[in-house]
Structure 1
Amino acid sequence: MLLELMLPQTCGGCGRLGPGWCRRCAESLAGPPVRARPRADPGVPCWALGRYRGPVRRAVVAAKEQGRRDLAVPLGRALARGLTGLRAAERTLVLVPAPTRRAAARRRGGDPVARVVRVAGSLLPDCRVAPILRMRRGVRDSVGLGADDRARNLRGRVAVARRRLPDVLFDPNAEVVLVDDVLTTGTTACESVRALAFAGIAVRAVLVTSVV
């Protein structure tokens, strides 16, 4: 209680004093996922929980750049709800977090996308989380880059980690879903799906928290 008085909690979506994710902001991610059609088509259906604006945008930024680890829980719950509506109940679900630069992960105290995916995976039955994608050296921060520059920045620089991969990734009855926080041009999704396909892993869909 004393700590809350010294460091009052604010909502990650609207900034008001109170819960870390208020009921009103939660409504912005309460609807069913919508189809997203990025400029760079990864070749599989893309879905988004919401638009990258308002409380959703502020929550994503807070989770990534302001150390708001507490937002992984409400964002993970929203992701789990969206996946429940999209998945085939009789199939095993495998969630693959989109890759992030190592420097960015160190600066943020971990990978916020992977953190949200782990929460979602823990809430879903018959679900596995496979953090197997990595970015090779030479990838720059994509903030401020246009579509063509983003494509050049990532081309050939997303890879599957060199280790024994879970057998479920190659199960034809499993649903492998690539998960990210923001879908901008679709470049990260394209390179990730390509890297997974090269490793023999078929991605069924891409699901993001928000789409620009």
Structure 2
Amino acid sequence: MLDLVLPLECGGCGAESTRWCDACARHLRVGPDEPHLITPRVQAGVPVFSLGRYAGPRRTAIVAVKEHGRADLVEPLGASMRAGLRQLLAWGVLGAPLTVVPAPTRRQAARKRGGDPVTRIALAATSRGRDAAVVAALRMKTGVRDSVGLSGAARQRNVVGRVALKRSAGILAGDVVVVDDIVTTGATAGEAVRVLQTSGARVVAVLALANA
């Protein structure tokens, strides 16, 4: 009866009567050789890692969180990011104490989505900030367009000089990793790293849920 009133479907594949099926959970599972080092078109100045291609259940779940209000999918995406962070710590790429900085989101987009999904996923990945400090230290200035449909060069022009450090950011201790949902050209990640490094933060890597 409940399914008839509030029908459930998997946020990754659309299977009925479940919010997140076992098959999609396996799709997001982080293997022993993951996350993979990628080379985006715009160099970030630090290693950029991705947990998988922006396709299949991974893509569907990210879009569902960002565009369709599927807050219930924050936890499985956060669990995948958590496993990726642990792997980078085990490999010695990251060290403790660790500060996780979500890539900035346009203010208009965040309002439309009921908050910043990347920050929510980062908090889920760190047990609400207990395993690592999550600091939403960055903001997008006005004038940044939605990047959907923009060419690589246009994406870079769209964000250059338009990422800023929040006044409330304070001092970012230890190793800093920038996290994002998708790395496409790497323009946003690169600008985020540049701004953080200019402030004196020790940024050592970028980690994304997916790369396109």
- TM tier, smaller: over 0.9
* CA positional deviation for 1:107: 0.6
Aligned to 2:137: 132
Select 2:116's aligned residue among 111, 115, 126: 111
AA partner of residue 112 (structure 1): P
Select 2:64's aligned residue among 59, 62, 65: 62
Instruction: Report the number of matched residues.
Output: 206
CA distance in 2, matches of 1:56, 1:158: 27
Unaligned residue ranges in structure 1 (runs of 5+):
none
1:159 alignment partner, SS class: strand
CA distance in 2, matches of 1:107, 1:7: 23
* CA positional deviation for 1:199: 1.0
CA-to-partner distance for each residue in 1:1-29, whole Å, 9 max, x for gaps? x5443111111110111321211111122
CA distance in 2, matches of 1:59, 1:143: 17
1:83 alignment partner, SS class: helix
Aligned to 2:148: 143
**Aligned runs of 1:1-212 on 2, under 5 Å?**
3-30=2-29, 31=31, 32-87=34-89, 88=92, 91-122=96-127, 126-163=131-168, 165=170, 167=171, 169=172, 171=173, 174-212=174-212
Unaligned residue ranges in structure 2 (runs of 5+):
none
Structure 1 runs (4+) deviating above 2 angstroms are 2-5, 123-126
CA distance in 2, matches of 1:199, 1:90: 20
* Stretch moving more, 19-28 or 140-149: 19-28
Whether the 8 Å CA contact 1:13–1:25 is kept in 2: the answer is yes
* Stretch moving more, 156-165 or 131-140: 156-165
RMSD: 1.6
Whether the 8 Å CA contact 2:42–2:186 is kept in 1: the answer is yes
TM-score for the superposition, normalised by structure 1: 0.92
CA distance in 2, matches of 1:25, 1:160: 36
* CA positional deviation for 1:44: 0.5
AA partner of residue 141 (structure 1): D
CA distance in 2, matches of 1:160, 1:25: 36
* Stretch moving more, 121-130 or 18-27: 121-130
TM-score for the superposition, normalised by structure 2: 0.92
1:15 alignment partner, SS class: coil
Whether the 8 Å CA contact 1:44–1:204 is kept in 2: the answer is yes
When residues 84 and 193 of structure 1 are mapped into structure 2, their CA distance, relative to the original with a 3 A threshold, is same
CA distance in 2, matches of 1:38, 1:177: 17
Percent of matched pairs sharing the same residue: 50
Whether the 8 Å CA contact 2:177–2:206 is kept in 1: the answer is yes
AA partner of residue 61 (structure 2): A
CA distance in 2, matches of 1:60, 1:19: 17
